[in-house]
Chain A
Amino acid sequence: MALIQPDPTFYPSAREAMLAPREEVAYVALLDTAGEGRPDALATIDLSDGSIVSVHDMSVPGDELHHFGWNVCSAALCPYAPHPHVERRYLILPGLRSSRIYVFDVKDDPWHPKLVKTIEPETIFKKTGYSRPHTVHCGTDAIYVSALGNVDGDAPGGVFTLDHDTFEPKGRWEANRGPQELHYDFWWHLGHDRMVTSEWGTPNQIEAGPSLDLLVGRKYGHRLHVWDLSKRKHLQEIDLGDQHQMALELRPAHDPNKTYGFVNTVINVEDLSANIFTWYLEGEVWKARKIITIPAEPAEADLLPEPLKQFGAVPPLVSDISLTLDDRILLVSCWGTGELKAYDVSDPFAPRETGSIRIGGIARRDSHPAAAGRALNGGPQMVEASRDGRRVYFTNSLYRSWDDVFYPDGISGWMAKVDIADDGSISLDPGFFVDFAADGRRAHQIRLQGGDSSSDSYCFS
């Protein structure tokens, strides 16, 4: 049923979205640890005390739920294709391993999502030619989903769309993909009709676990691609340098007038560092510049998993970043070293580190104040900032076969929170710690009720 007034969670601009009420519920994807047998799940967390309210199992095992998203968001207010009276009520959950997509309705009872539709892998294969759906973004005219590869698990990966009323796959998004082969994330500059996509690797390159050969051979992705969003055409490629393996999360400025954004590269094969680049428009040309380098940290070989012993160091493995809605604070997850960093990026070319906390980590195993003395594994990974830019929630699992390489003792799932102060410094909330050890599954993507800083995009400055 259409609404009479716009959905109250839609905001014309990011600035106005910062005035949104505080979130009460978080939705968290839980991954089956063994990868066989138990289905994945969608958990709801009460953010007032960090308690697990409900855990809803998927219908079948083997999905590996990744970056789910909403059916619609503030982009519905965009003036060229407005549909402001559609409700934000469905979560679209893609199974990265199974290529199955679930649709959950959270309207009637936000604490107990209800499964209302399942799109089977065969439908995705047939309608789009893609497989391994990964990230969901609500667009101005459809729901956009990234896919890591074709039906055989090879290149090209790309983007397909779902109808935002029926959720039926509408087919491949690209009209002309140019030289683009590898795929990972995508997002856009709505004010400039540009899409940006990044590169991880094909399903066949990643599903068995990270390959040292591919890394040394620099075969994982290291490019960004810029597209014409309305003509669905590849415009330009930006090579970040092939030593920077795996260009992952794309965080364009939320202000649609701005023409820059941030992307993380996971590992530099020359020195094991992780890096953040700013992409930007100069004249008519899109460029990228390295703005942050986070070095590897030396560690005793005894503390390291097999592939890292020879290096005697822990790579930071920056796996996710999040940008507050005022385009001011960039949160950076160092999953390897167990650190969450905060940078003031008001000047996108001159970041200033404003804060850091430690938890987990391959060698350090730092504990949380709520479970003092308990060595934690995994590290800050999926990170999500609240709309007002005051609270940041994060979980500790990356991708099952990669978890098992870097944390071979088996990641025990948790979710934690930091508060951001006015000066951009961050502090762990000592009272907020969600422990998924009893459930046994691993926590991945977080979505906050009503929207968060990676769920919505805006057409008004």
Chain B
Amino acid sequence: MDLTSALILAGLGAFHGLNPAMGWLFAVALGLQEHSRNGVLRALPPIVLGHAASVLVTLGLVSAASLAAPPKAISYGVAALVCGFGVWRLVRRRHPRWVGMKVTRWQLAGWSFLMATAHGAGLMVLPVALHSEHEGHMGHSAPGVPSGHDVAALASQSLLATGIHTLAMLAATTVLALLVYERLGVAVLRKAWFNLDFAWAVALIGAGAFAAFT
């Protein structure tokens, strides 16, 4: 994986981490409920892991498909999927309803998985991750006959991409959750909770275009 790809993956991770709907706000609310910073910190691992799982599943599925289909078909397929999802996010706002304020760690992880999946977090990461995977295993065996080496390489690339993305997301989420809990207070939401839906949709469409043109 080249540095540019790694930086983009990390940037997207930070972007996801900044979004209150991806979990830091939930962590703050749970901390306020317990009146303790530990409450905030305890909520973060399930949230980040749920997010990572959503990204990994998306990358894993598409990587597996890329072993069996010609690269062009995968590129355009991914481009259409990611762009299409971006357009859908533009016209329709939905939020999954599942849990309430009393959540177990598993429910919190599940909630984060659902939120990330519904927002297309993995899809946004997909084109860059796929690009670096493609670079990584160029010149190996022909499509349709994946070798054990290919599978291992792809799996490790997916894991690496998810790892970079997740670390950046964890950093952004933790910093924001603690900053709001300790210093700013939730009143800051009234002004600072910018509507990311548009930026999010544009990022998805951009990522899709990237997949088509690289």
CB-CB < 8 A to B190: which residues of A?
A: 5-6, 8, 10-12, 16
Write the nearest CB–CB distance from A2 to chain B, whole angstroms.
Answer: 6
Specify the chain A residue showing the minimal Cβ separation from B115. A80
B32 touching A84 by the CB < 8 A rule? no
Q: Determine which of B25, B95, B102 lies in contact with A83 in the assembled complex, contact meaning CB atoms within 8 Å.
A: B95
Contact A230 B99, CB 8 Å, known A85-B197, A191-B33, A257-B33: yes
A230 touching B100 by the CB < 8 A rule? yes
Contact A80 B111, CB 8 Å, known A4-B194, A461-B33: yes
A12 touching B95 by the CB < 8 A rule? no
Q: How far is the CA of A341 from the CA of B33 in the complex (A)?
A: 33
B26 touching A190 by the CB < 8 A rule? no
Query: Is residue B145 contacting chain A, with contact meaning CB distance below 8 A?
Result: no
Contact A79 B28, CB 8 Å, known A141-B95, A141-B97: yes
Q: Determine which of B20, B29, B93, B98 lies in contact with A459 in the assembled complex, contact meaning CB atoms within 8 Å.
A: B29
CB-CB < 8 A to A16: which residues of B?
A: 186-187, 190
Query: Is residue A239 contacting chain B, with contact meaning CB distance below 8 A?
Result: no
A84 touching B97 by the CB < 8 A rule? no
Write the nearest CB–CB distance from B195 to chain A, whole angstroms.
Answer: 4
- Residue-by-residue, is A432-459 near B (CB-CB < 8 Å gives 1, otherwise 0)? 0000000000000000000000000001
Main secondary structure of the interface of A (DSSP, over half): loop
B29 touching A6 by the CB < 8 A rule? no
Write the nearest CB–CB distance from B194 to chain A, whole angstroms.
Answer: 6
B102 touching A192 by the CB < 8 A rule? yes
* B85-113, CB < 8 A from A: 93, 95-103, 111
Query: Is residue B140 contacting chain A, with contact meaning CB distance below 8 A?
Result: no
B20 touching A79 by the CB < 8 A rule? yes
Specify the chain B residue showing the minimal Cβ separation from A80. B99
Q: How far is the CA of A28 from the CA of B194 in the complex (A)?
A: 34
CB-CB < 8 A to A193: which residues of B?
A: 100-102
CB-CB < 8 A to B100: which residues of A?
A: 80, 140, 190, 193, 229-230
Specify the chain A residue showing the minimal Cβ separation from B25. A79
CB-CB < 8 A to B111: which residues of A?
A: 80
Specify the chain A residue showing the minimal Cβ separation from B43. A79
CB-CB < 8 A to A142: which residues of B?
A: 97
Q: How far is the CA of A5 from the CA of B198 in the complex (A)?
A: 12
Q: How far is the CA of A460 from the CA of B97 in the complex (A)?
A: 18
A460 touching B32 by the CB < 8 A rule? yes
Q: How far is the CA of A16 from the CA of B190 in the complex (A)?
A: 10
CB-CB < 8 A to B192: which residues of A?
A: 5
Query: Is residue B189 contacting chain A, with contact meaning CB distance below 8 A?
Result: yes
Q: How far is the CA of A230 from the CA of B98 in the complex (A)?
A: 7
CB-CB < 8 A to B98: which residues of A?
A: 80, 230
Query: Is residue A81 contacting chain B, with contact meaning CB distance below 8 A?
Result: yes
Write the nearest CB–CB distance from B82 to chain A, whole angstroms.
Answer: 22
Query: Is residue B191 contacting chain A, with contact meaning CB distance below 8 A?
Result: yes
A82 touching B21 by the CB < 8 A rule? yes
Q: How far is the CA of A452 from the CA of B131 in the complex (A)?
A: 54
* A169-204, CB < 8 A from B: 190-193
B189 touching A12 by the CB < 8 A rule? yes
* A88-144, CB < 8 A from B: 140-142
Q: How far is the CA of A140 from the CA of B29 in the complex (A)?
A: 14
Q: How far is the CA of A16 from the CA of B197 in the complex (A)?
A: 26
Contact A80 B101, CB 8 Å, known A2-B195, A3-B195, A85-B195: yes
Specify the chain A residue showing the minimal Cβ separation from B92. A165
Q: Determine which of A82, A140, A141, A229 lies in contact with B25 in the assembled complex, contact meaning CB atoms within 8 Å.
A: A82
Q: How far is the CA of A305 from the CA of B103 in the complex (A)?
A: 54
Write the nearest CB–CB distance from A233 to chain B, whole angstroms.
Answer: 12
Specify the chain B residue showing the minimal Cβ separation from A189. B101
Q: How far is the CA of A190 from the CA of B101 in the complex (A)?
A: 7
Contact A460 B194, CB 8 Å, known A79-B25, A191-B33, A192-B102: no
Contact A5 B28, CB 8 Å, known A81-B95, A193-B100: no
Write the nearest CB–CB distance from B95 to chain A, whole angstroms.
Answer: 5
Additional A-B contacts beyond A5-B190, A12-B187, A191-B33 (17; CB < 8 A) = A3-B195, A5-B192, A5-B194, A13-B186, A79-B25, A79-B28, A82-B20, A82-B95, A85-B195, A141-B95, A191-B101, A192-B101, A193-B102, A229-B100, A257-B33, A459-B101, A460-B186
**Mind listing 14 A-B residue pairs with CB under 8 Å?**
A5-B191, A11-B190, A16-B186, A77-B189, A78-B101, A79-B26, A80-B111, A82-B20, A85-B195, A141-B97, A142-B97, A230-B98, A460-B32, A461-B32
